[in-house]
Amino acid sequence: MKDLKITYDDIAEEWSKSKPDEWMRNGIDKFLSYLKPGSSVLDVGCGSGDKSRYIQSKGMNVTGIDFSTKMIEIAKREVPNAHFEVLDINDLDKYNQKFDAIFARAVLLHFPKTQLSQVLKMLVDHLNNEHGYMYIAVKMQKESEEGEEIVKEFDYGQNIERFFSYFTLEELKKYVADLNLQLCFEDVVQVKSGTRKWIQLIVRK
């Protein structure tokens, strides 16, 4: 399977043309409602920056990171007033800056479940010490299916393969509880009829 970073580099331009996921807007607005104007927000796996743009439009100071060089090039072009860096989440422990909040939409689902606790811990370590907030969105596991798979599909103009982890609501809540995070909001969204549901959580340090 092609390296995931290369895959996202390859599809970056087509990805950036896709419409924002309107179903998420309520969850993002709920997340932002916990934050003070001017709060620093780290958008992890920011892609081409469309969510960063929205968060910034609500008065937040946004830093976006992504391991895809092409995605960051587009983000800098499309959202010039936000700050973007090429950074793999696996290297986040080398990044010294801390934030009032972290936005992690559709990024944790690319990690094997055996690594998720470690990745979440790295994210928590980059929250400010007092009451930092984190938004998490992942795909929900369907009944009678494996929790991990490699998906082969034709999308964004080409054949691609990507690894995904899927979660139950209780499973994801246990991951955050094990890190002593306070659950502030939970939601399960059916995106379209017949498609996979998404889980949204907002937690506080």
Which tens digits make up the pLDDT trace of 22-49?
777 889 999 999 999 999 999 999 999 9
Per-residue confidence (pLDDT) for residue 145, from 0 to 100: 80
Calculate what percentage of the chain has a pLDDT beyond 90: 69
pLDDT of residue 23: 72
Report, as an integer, the average pLDDT of 80-97: 93
Encode 118-185 in three state secondary structure. Answer: HHHHHHHHCECCCCCEEEEEEEECCCCCCCEEEEEEEECCEEEEEEEECECHHHHHHHHHCCCCEEEE
| Angstrom distances, CA of residue 150 to CA of 63, 101, 166 | 30, 31, 11
- Average pLDDT over the chain, rounded to whole? 91
Which residue shows structure tokens 């502030």? 184
- Domain boundaries, given as residue ranges, for the chain: 4-204
| pLDDT given for residue 20 in this prediction | 65
Instruction: Give mean pLDDT, residues 77-81.
Output: 93
Tell me, what's the pLDDT at 179? 95
Q: Is 116 helix (H, G, I), strand (E, B) or coil?
A: helix
- Asked if pLDDT for residue 1 goes beyond 70, the answer is no
pLDDT tens digits, 157-180: 788 888 999 999 999 999 999 999
Radius of gyration of the chain (CA): 16
CB atoms within 10 A of CB 152: 10
pLDDT at 156: 78
3-class secondary structure, 91: helix
Report the share of the chain in percent with pLDDT over 70.
97
* Nearest-angstrom CA–CA distance, 135 and 102: 6
The model's pLDDT over 107-153, given as tens digits with 9 standing for 90+, comes to 999 999 999 999 999 999 999 977 899 999 999 998 878 898 998 87
The percent of the chain in helix, strand and coil, each rounded to the nearest 5, is 35, 30, 30
For 161, phi then psi, to 5°, come to -130, 130
Q: Which carries the bigger pLDDT value, residue 139 or residue 191?
A: 139
Cα-based distances in Å from 187 to 58, 88, 138, 200: 22, 28, 11, 5
Instruction: State the amino acid at position 65 in one-letter form.
Output: I
Residue 203: band (very low, low, confident or very high) from pLDDT cuts 50, 70, 90: very high
pLDDT attached to residue 146: 83
Q: How much is the average pLDDT of 176-190?
A: 95
Q: Which helix (H) or strand (E) holds 11?
A: helix 4-17
> Per the CATH hierarchy, to which homologous superfamily does domain 4-204 belong?
Vaccinia Virus protein VP39 (3.40.50.150)
